[in-house]
Amino acid sequence: MAGERSPWAGIQDYFTATRRPLYSIIIAVPFFVAYELGMAYLYPDQPPEHKSRNLAEIILHAPESAIGRHAAYILPALLGIGLLFFLDWRGRKADRAAARPIPFRPAYLGWMLAESVLLALPLPFLLGEIASRLAAEDGGGGSFLFSLTSMCGAGAYEELLFRLFLFTGLLWLGMALKLEKLPAGILAAVVSAVVFSAFHFVGPRQFEPVFFTFATAAGVWLAAICYFRSFGMAVATHAIYDIMMLVGAAVM
């Protein structure tokens, strides 16, 4: 019938709209909030051997001694949200100039979570037994609820550090050096993934080539999600994958 839109057009609208940074903010913020609230209420009661925090969070909060504890804890997230708001404003400005406004549709948020589950599913197959070890590191031990909190923090802070800041920064640097966007993205994905993998060996843990290789593959996968979909999707995919592994280990 004339005037009806095809289902494919609706799918295109979904993928176009949800690349807007506004959706990233809305989908990612709950993982940050869940982690911070969980740490505030659960961390003090954990046994000493399980009182661990996410290393990416510790790195991002490193300026604590210079700018104060509360400012250091808020600043990284505010910088990330501010960057996303700027990108959203710039994108909407370009859309208005091209007369192609993209309306905000709350229903898309549910579809984004479902898509994140689908994007998380290949990781256990890609990583094999490394998958459960990565998730165990992100969990940090302790009670199930505390481990669940840690999973949210891994998705939130590791993606903030390695995908939004490092990957995006390297992508922009590559483009500033006159690389095409896709080659710059590939280079940024590989470099940020290698750093992400090496990050798992900070501390007393010995270097393991197999673990390093497969953790790098996971970093490339998450960078691809950040590049082709959005930062928020990378956060949700990372956290959901970790949560899936935690629940799977608990029921087996």
Contacts of 114 (CB under 8 A, 6+ apart): none
Distance of CA 241 to the CA centre of its chain: 11
Tell me the two tokens of residue 184.
């710059």
Closest-CA residue to 123 (of 150, 148, 155) = 155
Q: What is the largest CA-CA distance in the chain?
A: 67
By CB atoms closer than 10 A (0-12, 13-18, 19+), residue 73 is middle
DSSP 208: -
**Token pair of 10, please?**
């609706």
**Full DSSP string of 7-25:** HHHHHHHHHHHTTSHHHHH
Tell me if 39 sits within 8 A of 53, measured CB to CB. Answer: yes
How confident is the model at residue 22, as a pLDDT? 87
Task: Determine the 3-state secondary structure of 101 from DSSP.
Answer: coil
What is the torsional sign of CA 95, 20, 167, 131? Answer: negative
Please report, in tens digits, the pLDDT of each residue of the chain (252 residues total): 445 556 677 788 899 889 888 898 899 989 988 888 888 788 777 776 666 666 777 777 665 544 445 455 566 666 777 777 777 766 666 555 555 666 788 999 999 999 999 999 888 776 665 656 655 555 555 578 888 888 888 889 899 999 999 999 999 999 999 999 999 999 999 999 999 999 878 766 678 888 888 889 999 999 999 999 999 999 999 999 988 888 876 676
The pLDDT of residue 4 is 59
Q: C-alpha distances in angstroms, 105 versus 10, 109, 114, 231?
A: 12, 8, 16, 18
The whole-number pLDDT of residue 67 equals: 47
Segments making up each domain of the chain, as ranges: 17-97+112-251
